[in-house]
Each structure stands twice: as structure tokens, then as C-alpha cells.
Structure 1
Amino acid sequence: MTGARLSALIVARNEQDRLPDCLASVAFADEVVVVLDRSTDRSAEIARAAGARIVEGAWDLEGDRRNTGIAACTGDWILEVDADERVDAALAKAVRATIATSAFAWHQVPVDNYVGDRLIRHGWAGSFGTTSVPRLFRRGAKRWRAQRVHPGLDWTGEEGPRIAEGALIHLVDRDISDMLRRLDKYSSAKAADLIASGNIGSLGNNLRRFVMRGFKSYVSRKGYREGAWGILLAFCTGAFPLLSYLKARLEPGKHGG
């Protein structure tokens, strides 16, 4: 056992079906904090039964919700895990080894993304998915910005080497329909962020982003190795900023708050 204490932070909303497995996967942490945002299901009961400390509330901005969770953690290090993710045994061991010796402020963690039962290794890009996330960090090193979807990050301290062992298992979508619903949800939230910023961009710029992000997903990130799944990922990756812009421009009253 290392002298460095580890807090596992889970942020969730009505995740009673996924929360038990997620909680079980972070049981190796010294402390588990669960932030429940307007949850009306059995998530609180499940978290308490697992020995987690619960913070309940309502937040409009994802950044504020996650910062509340970080502030509630008491460990020297924090590992952020979403309810649709699981820490595999190899990653758990690597996290413990890292915090025992690291002189850095934060580390990237590898991610294995699943759509249903299919592991998709290639093609994740832009704001639609990633194969590495900065989830392991010292308390005080990370702060999320006040945005609704995929908020930016402000860091204090130096980044360390990416963890190479194990993976954060991300059950990102149940099927294609779930993926498209996620695209719709994310683009609506991003439209609200664009409107709030006072600068929604231009049609021309977002058309270029559609092409460039799709190309990055399919070619640069080797989505072509996934066959037809790679085409689907490239479409969603490129469509996200374009659809966000179109919602902000054509339906500002619907997405303005």
C-alpha cells in the first residue's frame, strides 16, 4: 500500500443499471465519491451500499458538476471515471504504481471503446471519442471550464508519461441508434455553449471542419481499419461541430438556455 491516497470520482445521472459494475471496478481506491446530478432512480441507494460518499445536486454545466466532485475528494490523487466506464485490473495496478512514484501532476489513461459488444480501436477523434483521457491527477491540478459539453481543462503542474498498462473500458454506445442519439444530445448542448459565447462561427468554417474532422477520423486515426464502423465514426465526428452550429443558427430559441 502506497502512502498516497487515491480518490475515485464518479459523476452520474440516473445510472442505476451501469453504476454497480463501475463501482466494483474502482473498489481498489481509498475513497469513492459519487456525484449524482438530478438522479431519480436507485443510483443513490446503490452508491451508499457500495460504501461511496454521495454528493447530490443539480448542475446545468458539465464543468461545474465535475468541479464539485473534484472539490469533494480528499485523496492525494483523483481518478475520474464515468458510470459507463470500468477500470480493468491491469489499469488499477498501474494507477497504484503510478501514484506511488510519480513526480508529475497528471497522466493520460488509455481507453478501450465499445459499441455494444464490439471493441472499436480506430477512428475515434475530435469531440466524439478518444483513446486516451487525462483522468489521473493530483488534487488541485485539474479544473474544468464552465461549459455544457466536453468542457475545456485548465491544468496546474506538468504532465507525466501516459499510463501504458490496462485500459479504461468505455461502454460508449449500446448500438448505432444510441450513437446517433448521443450525437443529437451533444450537439444540442454544444449549440447552447456557442450561443452563450456570443460567437457561433460561420457555415463555411463548419463545413470545412466537417470534412477535415471526417478525414482525420477515417484516415489519420485509421478508422478505415474498422470497415463500415469507421465510416460511421467519421460521419459522426465531422457532423458534431456542423450540427451544433446549425442548431445554434437555425433554432437559437430552442438551444439558448
Structure 2
Amino acid sequence: MPLSAVIITFNEADRIADCIASLAFCDDVVVVDSHSTDATAQIAHDLGARVLLRPFDGFRSQKQFAVEQARHDWVLCLDADERISQELAAAIATARDAGFDAAGYRFARLSQYFGKFLRRGNAYPDRVLRLFDRRRGGWRGTREVHEAASVDGPVRTLHGDLIHYPYRSLEQQLAKTQRYARMMAEHDHARGKRATVAKLVLSPAWRFWRGYVLRLGFLDGWHGLVYAYVRANYVRQKTIMLWMLQNGQPVTTPER
């Protein structure tokens, strides 16, 4: 059964080659690039991918567009900072040989965090649905951040990890989480959700406690501690921004 892989990119020249190399078992690789200013598009093209240029209008929209450009109905979706491990590639091949007996497949995502793979806490197993029949699902809904694919039908879990290299530096992580916090606050505000004093105080503390203590994030050493703090701070930022929006205050600098 033929299989397409799709990737969305922007300025990923240092990572796109490894991502594409991990997809050697796929019959078709599509890269949808948001007009990168580095060599991302050229590298992907030289490695045999079909490269399409499209202005970025949201993570969900960009990924769904990529799915629609695939040559085959079974689609595997990756970000440029992700790689298919050998174990996961073998599991996908087994499911493929069996005729893909589900509407979609999820698998664990293993994130490398400043030199260490996090195997506990809120970071792992972080199962994601990335392999599916596009005739039965896709990147649906209206939420453009923390987007998730969904399908109509059974979903099975495959063995093996999707290897994830999410951050080049702490500065990048902090900037990324703040941008995501703003986008989620704006999304929640548009849907009528409201922040409360209790959420402002308790939600960040609960995120830290759940990941670092209940899910044994402390076993990942100082990496687990920093990760738990930054993720708790994301919840704090998102809740504060939602509070500001519902009180008529801007969360970005107004244009002059």
C-alpha cells in the first residue's frame, strides 16, 4: 500500500535532511515550505522531496494543506524537528504489510532536551496521531496551535518512538512557548473561555506537580526540573494573557 510523508517547514536547513532521511521507506515525500530565507527548500528538493511554497496561515491549516498535496491516501505527518526511529519504521512497515487495519495510528514521541532524552514527566510518552487515511480524517477543527489530527474509526498504537529535537536553545524555547501561550489565549478567548483567580494560582502549580512529581519527571535529573518549570510557566503565561484579554487589555504591542 503506497505511503506519502508530508512535512511543513520554515528555516529548517540544519534539520530537514535528517528528517527526510528517516522517511526512506515512504513512496512520496512532500515538503510545504513557508518561504524560508535559508536553504531549506533547496536541500529538500535535492533529497528528492516535492517542495511546495505556501504562505504560513496557521499550523493546522498548513499541515492540512500538505496532507491534501500527498499523492497517496495513507499519509505520515512530521515536523522538520522530528525523525522516525528504526523501531518505529519497522512497526509502520508491519502495519503497512498487513493492509493498515485501522483508520489511523499513534506512537510515542521522545524529546531530546538539551543533551538528554526525557523519558518521564509530561514529556513522555506524549503519544501523537500522525499516520492516517486522509479519506477518514486529517487536521480538522479551528485551533491553529497545539493542533492534533483526528480520524473517524479505530486508532491503534505502534511500538517505537518518534524522535523529537524541539529546541535549539533555551531562548528559542522561551520565545516559542510565549508565542504559543498567546495563540492559545486568543483561541480560548474567542471561544468564550475565561480565566479565574483560582486558575491563575493553581493551574501552573498543578502542571508542575503533575509532571515533576506524579509522572516522575524528577528522575530525568536537572533536565526534568527545567522542563517542568518552563511548561508550568507556559500555563501561567497563557492564563495571564487570557485574563488580560477578557479585561479588554492587549497582549501584544499595538501598531502605531
Normalising TM by the smaller chain, what interval? 0.7 to 0.9
Instruction: Quote the Cα distance in structure 2 between the aligned partners of 1:237 and 1:42.
Output: 32
**Partner of 1:105 in structure 2?**
103
Alignment gaps of 5+ in structure 2: none
Map Cα deviations across residues 38-82 of structure 1 (whole Å, 9 max, x no partner).
Answer: 322221111111111122111322111111111111223211111
**Partner of 1:171 in structure 2?**
165
Counterpart AA for 2:154: E
After superposition, the CA RMSD in angstroms is 2.3
Moved more, 245-254 or 20-29: 245-254
- Matching of residue 180 in structure 1 with residue 177 in structure 2: no
**Partner of 2:154 in structure 1?**
158
Q: TM-score, normalised by structure 1?
A: 0.87
Instruction: Quote the Cα distance in structure 2 between the aligned partners of 1:69 and 1:231.
Output: 36
**Partner of 2:130 in structure 1?**
135
Identify which of 34, 37, 46 aligns with 1:37.
Answer: 34
Instruction: Quote the Cα distance in structure 1 between the aligned partners of 2:204 and 2:13.
Output: 36
Instruction: Quote the Cα distance in structure 1 between the aligned partners of 2:48 and 2:149.
Output: 29
Identify which of 204, 211, 214 aligns with 1:210.
Answer: 204
**Partner of 1:123 in structure 2?**
121
Q: 1:64 to 1:94 in 2, by over 3 A?
A: same
Structure 2 residue matching 1:227: 3-state secondary structure: helix
Stretches of 4+ aligned residues off by more than 4 angstroms: none
Instruction: Quote the Cα distance in structure 1 between the aligned partners of 2:78 and 2:150.
Output: 18
Q: 1:39 to 1:208 in 2, by over 3 A?
A: same
Instruction: Quote the Cα distance in structure 1 between the aligned partners of 2:186 and 2:20.
Output: 32
Moved more, 82-91 or 204-213: 204-213
Instruction: Quote the Cα distance in structure 2 between the aligned partners of 1:123 and 1:18.
Output: 26
Q: 1:256 to 1:77 in 2, by over 3 A?
A: farther
> What is the deviation of 1:173?
1.9
Paired residues, number: 249
8 Å contact from structure 2 (residues 109, 161) kept in 1: yes
Instruction: Quote the Cα distance in structure 2 between the aligned partners of 1:220 and 1:108.
Output: 24
Q: 1:20 to 1:145 in 2, by over 3 A?
A: same
Instruction: Quote the Cα distance in structure 2 between the aligned partners of 1:249 and 1:48.
Output: 45
> What is the deviation of 1:221?
1.9
Instruction: Quote the Cα distance in structure 1 between the aligned partners of 2:143 and 2:171.
Output: 26
8 Å contact from structure 2 (residues 208, 232) kept in 1: yes
Q: TM-score, normalised by structure 2?
A: 0.87
Map Cα deviations across residues 85-104 of structure 1 (whole Å, 9 max, x no partner).
Answer: 11122221211111221311
